[in-house]
Structure 1
Amino acid sequence: MKTVSDIKISVLDLAPIRADGGPQQALRNSLALAQHAEKLGFTRFWVAEHHNMDGIASSATSVLIGYLAAGTSSIRLGAGGVMLPNHAPLVIAEQFGTLATLYPGRIDLGLGRAPGADQYTAHALRRERSGSADDFPEDLTELQTYLGPLQRNQRVIAMPGAGTAVPIWLLGSSLFSAQLAGQRGLPYAFASHFAPRLMHEAIRVYRNNFKPSAVLDKPYVMLGVPLLAADTDEQAQYLATSAYQRILALLRGQSLVQKPPVQSMEGLWLPHERQAVGEFFGLAMVGGPETIRSHINQLLEQTDADELIFTSDMYDFVDRLHSYEVLANLR
């Protein structure tokens, strides 16, 4: 049976903005966290595309990756992910082809098929593009063509991009991308950090549909995991209330800027909201070192995952740094 010492561990960052901070501080913290993760031996550091959210500063994903790459030296960097329906495949091929050219061997491209935004923002992003999740398989094929070797008489090329073979991952919170990733022989990352309900079924669909490809000879599963680790279970439970408040605000359509932790959530949420937040964090690792170790090993026993990518939504940056230290020290 796999344990936390047997697998790769990585970081997913949303460049969270604090109630008393701003986007510049959030982006600088993202770089400091990437540097910290590199020193701790994490495999990769991904940032996610979100739009029209006042508490998240990672909307210009490829630009942020370039900033992180310039400030680090070895850790893999990438998108977890780019929401492909928002973009022309050629633009993404050029952006990530440029990154891969500047930082060879260090860039990943994770792709999602959701807009990562509400319908009004999706329209503002796409304008006259038909960009639809239904186009995702065709857009993926087009993108793979741009990043692959140049073909004779190819009329449209990505430069930089052609021949870079930037590693592509498919991301998902449902079964569609699991099936497609298996059929294309691509690595698959399931968004269990916010939608754990279909995790086991998605892994099964991916593995059952997997066909070896030029990039993978067997399935490769990565799972997103919320991490709220501290020196003790009690301290972790207290710090976790910042994350609970943020998801409660998301459910209510309120501001998503980070709020300080509170001693108790009682009186802040209604029973049905508490249940909804609990379902969102169904896979969360909350606790001190041995509690975290036990939870991770149980998850690995249930899923046989190859890699876990952790996201830690803590108010004080020093607590977020320490959360990843607790995790790294388990290995």
Structure 2
Amino acid sequence: MAHNNGENIGDIKLSVLDLVPVAEGSTALQSIRKSLELAQHVESLGFERFWISEHHNMESLVSSATPILIGYIAQGTKTIRVGSGGIMLPNHAPLIVAEQFGTLETLYPGRVDLGLGRAPGTDQLTAKALRRDRTETVHDFPRDIVALQTYFSKENSQAAVRAIPGEGLEIPLYLLGSSTFSAQLAGAKGLPYAFASHFAPTHLHEALRLYHQNFEASQQCKAPYTIACVNVIAAETDEKARYLETSLQQLALGIIRNTRRPLPPPVESMDGLWLGMEKAQIQQMMHYSFVGSRETIKAQLADFIEATRVNEIMAVSHIFDHKDRLKSYEILSSLLREE
């Protein structure tokens, strides 16, 4: 795919990353149902894909059983691509992942993406509980990807261990990263690359540069393909958007202080809630947050696309009120529809 020229946001694909957040006062079931509602909403708005990311042991997120949720979203939608952003490969044997996604692709053909990450998606103690006695080395992630590709290949039909269903299915793999390691690996393997700039902005430009530099065409990808995940909070006015953003800022504060709790309602001001140092840290972490009215976001996004030349923007929106969250994606999608 050609690089976007930055002039027209309408050329770019828009997608959603959903962590299945639990808003204060909501239940796990309500949160899962709201995610489906969001997926149906963005499908009607013409979004490309809806990804769910694997997290464990977090009161504020109920996306731990990622493939089950992907199946639930796929069943309630018709055309939008669904997948993982991502499955944290160190937590799973590649064979299990191949079987799970082979089953999803069998049920919802031509709509399933398998995004893969190498972070644990949780704290060290929980990672240990998930993996039991298995310790991971830097060589495991590339090796596990090869194993997955082997299980999905038609050639594996003669092997002693096979992924059924899964074998012979064209399930696109995406590598996810927040550092330069996965960027180089994705380039060398000729796979699309998604960068987690919504919480780890530091290495974005370097990672994209290394990806392009190392890219070698593959069966799946003839040309480089990049996705940047960013925070988007759009509202009727800049003031309202900034007010809604305080939920995300409080959530980030909980991460820094390790006092995680469900997504809190917005507040008039963060003054008095965070210390100066915490504010600076959160602003750095949330550097790629597009917050404001339609016009504000349009200008910010156009600059971002021009600077990064990404093919796709994946938006994550931690907004307390579900109606406001739906509205935010509506405003974002309106940028695609202009001539």
Which amino acid is 1:192 matched to? S
Q: Secondary structure at the match of 1:196?
A: coil
Q: Which residue of 1 aligns with 2:246?
A: 241
Runs of 4+ in 1 over 6 A off after TM superposition: none
Which one is further off, 131-140 or 82-91? 131-140
Determine which of 123, 135, 144 is the counterpart of 2:140.
135
Is residue 232 from structure 1 mapped to residue 237 from structure 2 by the alignment?
Answer: yes
Is residue 222 from structure 1 mapped to residue 216 from structure 2 by the alignment?
Answer: no
Q: Secondary structure at the match of 2:183?
A: helix
Determine which of 295, 299, 303 is the counterpart of 2:304.
299
Q: Secondary structure at the match of 1:171?
A: strand
Q: Secondary structure at the match of 1:318?
A: helix
Q: Secondary structure at the match of 2:227?
A: strand
Q: Which residue of 2 aligns with 1:67?
A: 72
Determine which of 145, 151, 165 is the counterpart of 2:150.
145
In structure 2, relative to structure 1, the CA distance for the partners of 1:114 and 1:4 (3 Å cut) is: same
Alignment deviations for residues 54-80 of structure 1 (CA, whole Å, 9 cap, x no partner): 000111100000000110000000000
Q: Which residue of 2 aligns with 1:106?
A: 111
Equivalent pair of 1:185/1:219 in contact (CA under 8 Å): yes
Shift of 1:217: 1.1
Is residue 321 from structure 1 mapped to residue 326 from structure 2 by the alignment?
Answer: yes
Shift of 1:130: 3.2
Which one is further off, 72-81 or 247-256? 247-256
In 1, Cα distance between equivalents of 2:296 and 2:260: 32
In 2, Cα distance between equivalents of 1:272 and 1:195: 18
Which amino acid is 1:29 matched to? K
Q: Secondary structure at the match of 1:77?
A: strand
Q: Which residue of 1 aligns with 2:295?
A: 290
Q: Which residue of 2 aligns with 1:263?
A: 268
Equivalent pair of 2:43/2:77 in contact (CA under 8 Å): yes
Which one is further off, 158-167 or 176-185? 158-167
Shift of 1:329: 1.1
Alignment deviations for residues 246-287 of structure 1 (CA, whole Å, 9 cap, x no partner): 000011001231101000000000011001110111010000
Q: Which residue of 2 aligns with 1:180?
A: 185
Is residue 6 from structure 1 mapped to residue 35 from structure 2 by the alignment?
Answer: no
In structure 1, the gaps of 5 or more residues are none
Report the number of matched residues.
331
In 1, Cα distance between equivalents of 2:52 and 2:138: 21
Q: Secondary structure at the match of 1:310?
A: strand
Equivalent pair of 1:147/1:163 in contact (CA under 8 Å): yes
Equivalent pair of 1:113/1:133 in contact (CA under 8 Å): no
Is residue 51 from structure 1 mapped to residue 68 from structure 2 by the alignment?
Answer: no
Q: How does 1:192-211 map to 2 (within 5 A)?
A: 192-211=197-216
The TM-score normalised by the length of structure 1 is: 0.98
Which amino acid is 1:67 matched to? Y
In 1, Cα distance between equivalents of 2:137 and 2:88: 11
In 2, Cα distance between equivalents of 1:179 and 1:94: 27
In 2, Cα distance between equivalents of 1:101 and 1:9: 25
Identity of aligned residues (%): 53
Q: Which residue of 1 aligns with 2:93?
A: 88
In structure 2, relative to structure 1, the CA distance for the partners of 1:28 and 1:133 (3 Å cut) is: farther
Equivalent pair of 1:44/1:75 in contact (CA under 8 Å): yes
Q: Which residue of 2 aligns with 1:27?
A: 32
The TM-score normalised by the length of structure 2 is: 0.96
Q: Secondary structure at the match of 1:24?
A: helix
In 2, Cα distance between equivalents of 1:131 and 1:326: 42
Alignment deviations for residues 78-128 of structure 1 (CA, whole Å, 9 cap, x no partner): 000000000000000000000000000000000001111111000110113
Q: Secondary structure at the match of 1:15?
A: coil
Which amino acid is 1:34 matched to? A
Q: Which residue of 2 aligns with 1:41?
A: 46
In 1, Cα distance between equivalents of 2:215 and 2:137: 25
Shift of 1:10: 0.3
In 2, Cα distance between equivalents of 1:255 and 1:174: 24
Equivalent pair of 2:156/2:162 in contact (CA under 8 Å): no
Is residue 18 from structure 1 mapped to residue 23 from structure 2 by the alignment?
Answer: yes
Which amino acid is 1:97 matched to? G
Alignment deviations for residues 126-173 of structure 1 (CA, whole Å, 9 cap, x no partner): 113334454100011001100111336311000001011210000000
Equivalent pair of 2:85/2:176 in contact (CA under 8 Å): yes
